[in-house]
Structure 1
Amino acid sequence: MRFLIVRTDIRAVVDTDITAAWAGGHRLRDETTRPEPRRQVVHAEDRDAALHLARAIATVGAVRSGKQRVKVLPLDDPGHRRARPGPPDT
């Protein structure tokens, strides 16, 4: 399985946004509707390589200081769905 390693900026929020999200029961950050700005994108062919690259990218000063984050995302084939585990055999 292939993986995508992404380094993004962390979007700053103010206390009023946190309070509104808490009161309204919605998410403060929703990556599907408003993704964080990307700084770097790298592909890896397997999980071990992806984690190795993510650890290397995490040594960047902005990541270490909390201004950016590193995400490792699995990329599945569009036609491939993961099988759900069924009931145990009796």
Structure 2
Amino acid sequence: MRFLIVRTDVRAAADTDIAAAWAGGGRLRDETARPESRRQVVHAEDRDAALLLARALASVGAVRAGRQRVKVLPLDEPQPAWPTWPDDRGG
């Protein structure tokens, strides 16, 4: 399965926005409606490589200071652990 590793800026949230999201039961940040701006994008072919790259990107000073974040996103559907067989084996 392929992965996308993204380093993004963290949007600042005002106290009033936090209180409104908390009181209304909504989300403070909705990535589908308003995604954070991207700083760096890297592709990986498997999960181990993706986590290794994410760990490397997390060592950047802005990530460690909390101004940016690293996200690991799957791009493909996961492969089944066992092949699926047609149910015509007579059992």
- Correspondence 1:73 to 2:73: yes
Task: Provide the TM-score with structure 1 as the length reference.
Answer: 0.83
Task: Provide the TM-score with structure 2 as the length reference.
Answer: 0.82
Larger Rg: 2
Runs of 4+ aligned residues of structure 1 deviating over 4 Å after TM superposition are none
- Correspondence 1:36 to 2:36: yes
Cα distance in 1 for residues equivalent to 2:79 and 2:27: 27
Root-mean-square deviation over aligned CA pairs: 1.7
Q: Percent same amino acid at aligned positions?
A: 80
1:19-30 → structure 2 map (5 Å cutoff): 19-30=19-30
Equivalenced residue count is 80
Cα distance in 1 for residues equivalent to 2:79 and 2:31: 22
Cα distance in 1 for residues equivalent to 2:55 and 2:79: 28
Q: How far does residue 25 in structure 1 lie from its aligned partner after superposition? A: 1.4
- Give SS of 2:5's match: strand
